[in-house]
Amino acid sequence: MSRFNPELLPASFVPFASSSAFTKKERTLIPEKEKSENVVYLHSIPSLFDELKITDGMTLSFHHHLRNGDYVFNMVMEEIKRRNLKNIHLAPSAIFPNNQGLSELIENSNVTNITTNYLNGPVAETIGQGKMQGLLIMDTHGGRARAIESGDLKIDVAILSTPAVDHLGNGNGIEGPSACGSLGYAISDLKYAKKVVLVTDYVIDSLKRVDFPNEYVDYVVKLDKIGDPKGIVSGTTKITKDPIGLKIARNTVKLLDELGFIKEGLSMQTGAGGTSLAVAQYVKEKMQEKQIKGSFASGGITGYIVDMLKEGLFEKLYDVQCFDLQAVKSIKTNPSHIPMSASVYANPFDPKVIVDKLDFVILGATEIDTNFNVNVTTDSKGLIIGGSGGHSDTAFGAKVTIITSSLIKSRLPIIKDKVTIITTPGEDVDILVTERGIAINPKRTDLLQKLTNSKLKIVPIEKLLETSHKITGEPNRIELKNKVIGLVRYRDGAIIDLLYQYK
């Protein structure tokens, strides 16, 4: 497990034992926030700071549904800087490149700790350079919901961008100029933060649907604009045209079919990357050919998955975040396209958890090792470029977890003896599909047995590692500095790995 020495962990943290260790624990729930009597309407971020007396050391949370088009997070950062507040703990569900202004606040110790599920861009670089005084804690999507409801992540003020709000203080994500669809990542913040603020640019008399009930809401801040719709959609939601990606996708679906997963009632999740979408496309063709209907698809939802719902290939979609405007439109109008909270999506302790009902999930990797541990948190140089998001959650829950990746990326082999950082433990990763062969985790003897007579090229992962080294040579191991800059927190709250400053 990279350089992880559990003995170095602060006493309040528990080292990772196994992905199913949580099943022996009870769910911990702090009381939900006090119901608010009246919702107070404000018209600026500074007035919000005055009203709530936001001060040094507080924890502020945000959601990332407006993604790279979000203005609210940046406006709050500006205000922290203007007031020169210190030691702020930020807990956004993700940080994007457009939040680059945060770097300066980190360097000036305005912000000293961050808890998030995903980050990339300039802020990731600043933290990677060891410039943050405190720690970065990286949760999974389900793990963040667990951390909030259990009190591991105590939020003073949840500042939630809300595309539409009514005069009673209810909010939703489907109306207004900044409509982004599902607001699933914010539901735990809404229920458990000490104070909840909806920030909107669209106030109307009544909403078509309520995602944020006003009983949880203390303040509404009405601004001119909360986001840029162009940045709200993910930029990567197109099927790949790369022949290698398409081959991987084709073989993934052939494999799923041979394993018997393309069947009536199937449930699945794929990402929004080009190869994942190609998998969805080939699954769709196979389902049409077999004339079958799936039960549901889940996760971040794209237009391709919406098309499958419209064509009657799924009964339902469970949507924690919309990846494009087609998905936003669908969740607004189609009752079978159902928003879900991050807790229902992936919290290991949530009794309704969706990930446990998945037949298969298609995931990516920046690195995978011969024990099938996966890194999606850093690149091979140790620079933070992402994070689990729902990776570990779905890998645990789905009956079969498939990693699709080309064997070599930017001249570097994707398979390592040991990954730089473990995001998702190998015990939950079953299959790696590459262009030069498919490796099955030897622990899944059931899958290996089913594939005994497969026409697909099934090879040990060590063989794929050898093949990639023949092409690229064996890369040098990356040396990281000794300074721990963060923790990778598994969904149950245990620490699965440490993040180090990169050289």
Partner 1 sequence: MRRSLLFIPGNNPAMLQNADCFESDAVIIDLEDAVHVNEKDNARNLVHCYLESLTEVPMEIVIRINAPDTPYYEDDLEQVVSEKIDAIMLPKASPASCFLIDQVLTIIENDKKMNKKIGIIPIIETATGVLQMGEIAKMPRINGILLGAEDLSVDMEVERTKKGTEIWYPRAKLAYTCKALKIDAIDTPFTDTSDNEGLKEDALKAKELGLNAKAAIHPNQIDIINQVFSPSEKQIIWAKRILKATEEAQAKNLGVFSLDGKMVDKPIIERAQKIIKMAQKYRLD
- The structure tokens listed for 165 are 């709000």
Of 265 and 473, the one with the shorter C-beta distance to partner 1 is 473
To 10 degrees, what angle do helices 325-333 and 303-310 make? 40
Which lies closer to partner 1 via its Cβ, residue 174 or residue 415?
415
| CB closer to partner 1, 78 vs 466 | 466
* Minimum CB distance to partner 1, residue 88 (Å): 46
Find the shortest distance in angstroms from Cβ 407 to partner 1. Answer: 9
Q: How far is the CB of 454 from partner 1 (least distance, A)?
A: 10
| Nearest distance in Å: CB 358, partner 1 | 28
Contacts with partner 1 by CB under 8 A lie at 241, 243-244, 246-247, 250, 408, 435-436, 455, 470-471
Query: Contact at 8 Å (CB) between 222 and 184?
Result: no
Q: Cα separation of 134 and 486, whole Å?
A: 8
Nearer to partner 1, 301 or 433 (CB): 433
Maximal CA-CA distance, the chain: 69
> Toward partner 1, which CB reaches closer, 359 or 435?
435
Burial 336-375 (b: 16+ CB within 10 A, else e): ebbbbbbbbbbbbbbeebbbbebbbbbbbbbbbbbbbbbb
- Residue in the structure block whose two tokens are 């909840």: 196
Query: 194 or 250: whose CB is closer to partner 1?
Result: 250
Shortest distance in whole angstroms from residue 281 CB to partner 1: 12
Beta carbons within 10 angstroms of residue 31's beta carbon: 8
Residue closer to partner 1 by CB (options 267, 468) is 468
Decide: residue 479, CB within 10 A, 0-12 exposed, 13-18 middle, 19+ buried: exposed
Judged by beta carbon, residue 404 or residue 501, the one nearer partner 1 is 404
Query: In the structure encoding, which two tokens stand for residue 289, read together?
Result: 């050919």
φ, ψ (nearest 5 deg) of residue 388? -65, -45
Number of other CB atoms surrounding residue 37 within 10 Å: 7
Q: Which two tokens stand for residue 3?
A: 């350089």
24 vs 455 by CB, closer to partner 1: 455
Around 181, how many Cα atoms within 13 Å sit in the side-chain half-sphere? 36
3-state helix, strand, coil in the chain (%, to 5): 30, 25, 45
- Using the structure block, give the residue that is written with the tokens 């943290």: 13
Give the shortest CB-498-to-partner 1 separation in angstroms: 35
Minimum distance from residue 297 beta carbon to partner 1 (Å):
25
Distance from C-alpha of 111 to C-alpha of 89, rounded to nearest angstrom: 6
Q: Provide, rounded to whole angstroms, the least separation between the CB of residue 457 and partner 1.
A: 9
Taking the complex as a whole, the smallest distance from the CB of residue 473 to partner 1 amounts, in Å, to: 11
Candidates 59, 57, 130, 122; CA nearest to 95 is: 122
**Min separation Cβ 246 and partner 1, Å:** 6
Cβ closest to partner 1, residue 160 vs residue 439: 439
Provide the CB-side half-sphere exposure for 183 (13 A, CA). 27
